[in-house]
Amino acid sequence: MFGLPQQSLEALVSRLDMPRYRVDQIMRWLYRHHVTAIEQMTNLPQADRRALEQITEIRVRPPQQSLTSSDKTRKYTFETDATDLVETALIPEGKRMTLCLSSQVGCRVGCRFCATGAMRLRGNLSPAEILNQYRSVPERDQITNIVYMGMGEPLDNLNAVVDSVELLTSEHGYGLGNRRITLSTVGKPEPLARFLERCDVRLAVSLHTPFQEQRRELLPGTRGYDLDQLLRILRDRARQDARRVSFEYVMLKDVNDSLEHADATARLLAGMQTRINLIPFHPWQGNDMLPTPAARIEEFRARLEQRGLIATVRASRGMDIEAACGLLATKRPPIAPVVVHG
């Protein structure tokens, strides 16, 4: 029952011949009172509670493990219904507390610099498994922002991600403001267009290079489309509200950190009035790429700003517990990768 889209819950209530207002009551218990059992929904008649218990349950799980970094970043590990593991990062920064949600176990995009991509795709998370990461962290009520930047490519699990966003923002769900939520994606045009039709949250697009062929090498899962397709959608989005679109760029030594790359990035994004976040690469075992030195990152950032872009350097958080960007990767022995169609 937890994580069930509102329309599906309405259908369930109708099938049980309960009044329509029962949906609002149930959702309030699930997302405002955080009950763990149907029996705890005390303003529902006992007969209705018994009927619900016959066909459904509230399936939520506490974190299986938690680690705290020297910089106060926390990493939580959750078990999925398939008994696999997924990681979630919680990042405190001043008055902000950001929760980094995962949408898949592993990822099929296969970014060369990302430990999650090296896992390959092992499974999609359900809406309940995505939402459980928010519901079950001890700091839930202190969280100010949510980012879909954990394990997985959110648009490869489109329906579950949309359902989870709708429950996070619905007045009958958690009631969070749209601008408190950011979805990070490599930007596959077709699912991106469908997502934007259904959800109005901030976007952070993983760019990493302005050159088409190099992007296909660094992000193998983007080989089916070109940057022009993606930029057309993003320019339309930015015209509606430039604050809703930003770009991410992992800095890789002698790979994508030249001034030629900076100039080409500025040309690619010209006129969008957007922000680009430069992310230091975080090395991990089994990967031979190197991080760009801090001085060169600053030179790159300054060049982008000279060319008219707003550019910032993201602080590295949670390095000592492998919670930093690109490091989330559960250690359970691998199973055969799943094939997801569509």
Q: Tell me whether strands 74-79 and 275-280 are parallel, antiparallel or unpaired.
A: unpaired
The vertex-282 CA angle with 206 and 132, nearest 5°, equals 65
Q: On the CB side of 88, how many CA atoms lie within 13 Å of its CA?
A: 32
Q: Is residue 81 a part of any domain in this protein?
A: yes
Total tally of structural domains belonging to the chain: 2
Q: Is residue 336 in some structural domain?
A: no
Specify whether 161 is located in the same domain as 274. yes
pLDDT band of residue 337 (cuts 50, 70, 90) is: very low
Whole-model pTM above 0.85?
yes
Is there a domain that residue 46 lies in? Answer: yes
Assess if residue 339 is contained within a domain: no
**Neighbour-count burial for 14-33, b at 16+ CB within 10 Å, e otherwise:** eeeebeeebbebbbebbbee
What pLDDT is attached to residue 124?
97
pLDDT interval class at 168 (50, 70, 90): very high
**Does 146 reside within a domain?**
yes
Question: Are 229 and 251 part of one and the same domain?
Answer: yes
**56 SS3 class:** coil
Same domain, 176 and 45: no
| 241 within domain boundaries | yes
pLDDT confidence of residue 250: 96
Establish if 341 belongs to a structural domain.
no
Q: Indicate whether 12 and 159 sit together in one domain.
A: no
DSSP element (H, E) containing 15: helix 6-15
Instruction: Tell me, yes or no, whether 26 and 105 share the same domain.
Output: no
User: H-helix or E-strand containing 225?
Assistant: none
Residues belonging to the active site: 87, 325
The answer, yes or no, to whether residue 327 has pLDDT greater than 80, is no
Q: How many CB atoms lie within 10 A of CB 302?
A: 13
Report pLDDT for 200. Answer: 92
pLDDT in tens, 303-322: 999 999 999 998 877 666 66
173 and 247 both lie in a single domain: yes
20 and 155 in a single domain? The answer is no
Domain that holds residue 22: 6-55
CA distance 196 to 190: 10
Looking at residue 324, its pLDDT comes to 54
**Same domain membership, residue 82 and residue 26:** no
Amino acid at 80: T
* CATH code for the domain in which residue 99 is found: 3.20.20.70
Supply the DSSP string of 72-131, one letter for each residue.
Answer: S-EEEEEE-TTS-EEEEEEEEETTEEEEE---EES-SS--TT-HHHHT---EEPPHHHHH
Q: Does residue 338 register a pLDDT over 50? A: no
Is 333 contained in some domain? no
What is the rounded average pLDDT of the residues 208-229?
Answer: 93
Q: Are residues 75 and 25 in the same domain?
A: no
Q: What does the pLDDT average to over 238-264?
A: 90
332 pLDDT above the threshold of 70:
no
Instruction: Please check whether residues 156 and 180 belong to one and the same domain.
Output: yes
pLDDT tens for residues 41-80?
999 999 999 999 999 999 999 999 999 988 899 999 999 9
Mean pLDDT of 276-287: 90
168 lies in the same domain as 267: yes
339/1 Cα distance (integer angstroms): 27
Query: Do residues 77 and 87 lie in contact, with contact meaning Cβ atoms separated by under 8 Å?
Result: yes
pLDDT (mean) for 294-302: 98
Q: What is the CATH number of the domain that holds 40?
A: 1.10.150.530
Banded model confidence at residue 247, pLDDT cuts 50, 70, 90: very high
Q: Are residues 70 and 184 in the same domain?
A: yes
